[in-house]
Amino acid sequence: MERSTRVVKVGSLMIGGQWPVSVQTMWKSPLPSDPNPGPGNEAFDSVLKRIHSLASLGCDVLRFAVPDDSQARYLGALAEVSPIPLVADIHFDWRLALLCLDYPIAKIRINPGNIGSRWKTAEVVAKAKERSIPLRIGVNAGSLPEDFRAMKDPVQACLAATEREIAAFESLGFDNFLVSMKLNDPRHVEEANRAFSKKHSYPLHLGVTEAGPLISGVARNTAALVPLLRGNRRSWREGKFFPAQGYGEREFGLFPALAAAGLDSILMDLSTAGWRSSTPSERISMWQSWDALSMDLGKRCTPT
């Protein structure tokens, strides 16, 4: 699927255009409770060490859920020293997005299905514009705006919700954003993203919602992404898409995205597409050292 996209700067990364593809996973557990987080604190240093581990495995961007003020401040402190860009995932309370924008957090994801009234979105957009921080319009088939939930076709419902949010952003003079439309059925993911690509040039963040644990996540993401990526491998390498998915343990959450086009082929392609460390054989060896890939997928095992 050939398409020319705008370029969005996410921290130190450039997404879209002719830039290399980036891979994102999500931090799945709450951050430690600490009113004064920072280097030198044991819990903080432990989290930071884990982020460095993810970066060494090929993670380019890391997303955190931000349910309250304390988590926003902790994430902000991490963002000041993180080796990779950190993203705040905001649901329901737009004020958390405003708070996150006071820190060097690289991107804010908002869900049109639960962020609330249009004026709340406008406040977030205005501050993001002022701070030159990109947003992601994260439409999810499981949490659509109420007026789209009755639509029988989930693809059309997601597209309609996305179009309305884009129109709102553009009416505010804001175009520094990415778009994601996540559905559970891989066929629907493909259909929605193909339809979007024919009309818009905003970078896409690709993924499947509720894909399940590692094996299910790999299968669903492979089924959804390979048809989109197979048609033009050059587009895949050059970052026309922003593939991202993370389920289960944080390290395992990388595998669905990394395996989306088949392990061998994606490793060969990505090794020549701007990946910053290790060869395909080194990555394969690294991943094979995770015992949990064989039987016990629920437990994290430290690479040897």
pLDDT for 241 equals 38
Domain presence at residue 2: no
Domain tally, the chain: 1
Pure H helices in the chain: 42-56, 69-79, 94-100, 118-131, 154-171, 186-199, 214-230, 233-237, 254-258, 263-271, 280-288
Six-digit token string for 103: 């820190």
Residue 186: inside a domain: yes
Whether 148 and 159 have beta carbons less than 8 Å apart is answered as: no
Q: Residue 167 falls within a domain, yes or no?
A: yes
Give the per-residue pLDDT at 229.
63
- 274 belongs to a structural domain: yes
CATH number at residue 124: 3.20.20.20
286, part of any domain: yes
Please report whether residue 28 resides in a domain.
Answer: yes
Q: Is residue 38 part of a domain?
A: yes
pLDDT number for residue 83: 97
- Give the C-alpha separation, 153 to 142, whole Å: 13
Report yes or no on 245 lying in a domain: yes
pLDDT of residue 289: 43
Domain that holds residue 16: 9-293
Q: What is the pLDDT along the chain (304 residues), one digit of tens a residue?
A: 555 789 999 999 998 887 877 788 888 889 998 999 999 999 999 999 999 988 887 788 999 999 999 999 999 999 999 999 999 999 999 999 999 999 999 999 999 889 989 999 999 999 999 999 999 999 999 899 999 999 999 999 999 999 999 999 999 999 999 999 999 888 999 999 999 989 999 998 888 876 566 666 667 777 777 777 664 433 333 333 333 443 344 445 555 555 443 333 333 333 333 334 444 455 445 444 433 333 333 333 233 3
